[in-house]
Amino acid sequence: MLTHQVNDKNLTLERRESNESGNLGERSIPGPPRVAVIVISDLQFGGAQRQVVELCNRMDPQRYEMHIVSLAEYVPLSRTLKHGGSRLHIISKKNKWDFTVAFQLARLLRKLKADVVQGYLFDACVAARIAGKLAGTRLVVDSERNCSGTFKRRHHLAYRATRSFVDIVVANSSAGADFNHRQFGLEKSRYRVVHNGVDTDRFKPGVSSELRRELGWNEGDLVVGMFASFKRQKNHQLLLKAAPEFLKRFPNARIALVGDELYQGRDGSGEIRKSIEREIERIGMNDRFLFMGNRDDVDQIYGACDLTVLPSLHEGTPNVALESMASGVPVVATKVADSEFVIPDGRVGYLVDLDDHAALAQRISCLLEDQALRRKFGEQARAWVLEEFSCQRLADKTADVFDQALRVQSSRP
């Protein structure tokens, strides 16, 4: 298991790697490629969904043949899959109590002769656990994408009832692994940490002057971007509290909200968006905000921003922070989970305490007033992402984790 320590002053990294996971990217199980099936709630525009797509696109086909199962027909990200629809399977849930999906999934696992099944997000994790058990899949893998939060009673009961089916849990942050362990009581030896990756070929520095003009922004405008679905977790309210302070100081500043409600307005996201719209109207700054919705050209939109903001209440490894840094755009974020490792404070951006809107406004102002500082942070952010958070590294480390766990399974009597 990989652990990290960061020295904020010089951004050096200390690593301690056990021999369990082998050499990064080196095939350790001989023979034909194994079959891995990733089960996820849907393929909408979300962080977990994007990571699944990147993982499947970057996986070495000599190591694992990757398949994705979506439990909903809403799969807009499927068009970004390298294999198109050939390895995308849809087992659509009729409703949240539709337990038949586990049996359908088990049949598919047997048909594919899957060696590994891994669930992402609550319903998919439970379905993957049950189906893996029914199908006799060699390795059942769970995922943890956050570091805090509350569970509904039925969710907690479902997780605990099926936890014995799980062989290992892959978390995208050390804080997430600790959180999952506290909640569900699995042995610590079952946890692995693999931070998210970002496509550094797609997300790269470049000023999108034409897009800025299309969006009605002048050459001298300063654009603060927030890339997030309308979920309570993303904490748009903190940005709204900070906004009057820096928008009044910088009359040429604009805020771009990129993202939209969740599929079918899940988790109250529709009402959250309406409350944000009401608050913006209340503070009298409608003309300073732009609601952009879900976009396929987010890589271009980063290039149109001067900095980005991520005021989340909790995260695992935030994809939007990685995308912003890969694009050479500094980030101001809240101190949650592994953010002090992912976003070294004062080197690639700034970190602020949760609920400290004054600090958020102050850090945003620091970057808005200093173009040279934005450029410096952006260059250092790009270099940092290239070193630690490429999608290829994500795929290689995931394959290493699968290999090691399969070896352990094979060695058991």
Is residue 315 over pLDDT 70? yes
Are 246 and 362 in the same domain?
Answer: yes
| CA 311 – CA 351 distance, rounded (Å) | 9
Residue 28: predicted pLDDT: 63
Are 138 and 237 in the same domain?
Answer: no
The answer as to whether 253 is a domain residue is: yes
Are 50 and 114 in the same domain?
Answer: yes
The answer as to whether 202 is a domain residue is: no
User: Token digits for 357?
Assistant: 């809107």
Q: Which residue has the tokens 């301690």?
A: 16
Are 351 and 379 in the same domain?
Answer: yes
Are 30 and 152 in the same domain?
Answer: yes
* Domain containing residue 235: 209-388
Residue 95: predicted pLDDT: 85
Are 161 and 288 in the same domain?
Answer: no
How many structural domains comprise the chain?
2
Burial (CB count <10 Å: 0-12, 13-18, 19+), residue 124:
buried
Residue 86: predicted pLDDT: 72
Are 180 and 214 in the same domain?
Answer: no
Percent of the chain having pLDDT more than 70? 92
Q: State the pLDDT confidence band at 104, using cuts at 50, 70 and 90.
A: very high
Which tens digits make up the pLDDT trace of 377-412? 999 999 999 999 999 999 999 999 999 999 998 887
Q: At what angle do helices 319-326 and 371-388 cross, to 10 degrees?
A: 110
- Is 359 in contact with 352 (CB distance < 8 Å)? yes
Give the SS3 label for residue 7.
strand
Are 116 and 214 in the same domain?
Answer: no
The answer as to whether 203 is a domain residue is: no
Is residue 10 over pLDDT 70? no
Q: Report the CATH number that the domain containing residue 130 is assigned in CATH.
A: 3.40.50.2000
Are 29 and 139 in the same domain?
Answer: yes
| CA 129 – CA 179 distance, rounded (Å) | 19
Are 293 and 190 in the same domain?
Answer: no
Are 181 and 275 in the same domain?
Answer: no
Q: State the pLDDT confidence band at 84, using cuts at 50, 70 and 90.
A: low
Which tens digits make up the pLDDT trace of 137-166? 999 999 998 887 677 788 888 888 999 999
Mean pLDDT, range 321-339, rounded to an integer: 96
How high does pLDDT run on average in the chain?
90
Are 132 and 63 in the same domain?
Answer: yes
Mean pLDDT, range 95-120, rounded to an integer: 95
Which tens digits make up the pLDDT trace of 197-248? 999 999 999 987 889 999 999 989 999 999 999 999 999 999 999 999 999 9
Residue 18: predicted pLDDT: 34
Mean pLDDT, range 72-100, rounded to an integer: 88
Where are the strands (E) in 92-177, listed by range?
A: 116-120, 139-144, 168-171
Is residue 24 over pLDDT 80? no
Four-point Cα dihedral 29, 33, 35, 38, nearest 10: 90
The answer as to whether 305 is a domain residue is: yes
Mean pLDDT, range 36-46, rounded to an integer: 95
Which tens digits make up the pLDDT trace of 277-310? 999 999 999 999 999 999 989 999 999 999 999 9
The answer as to whether 250 is a domain residue is: yes
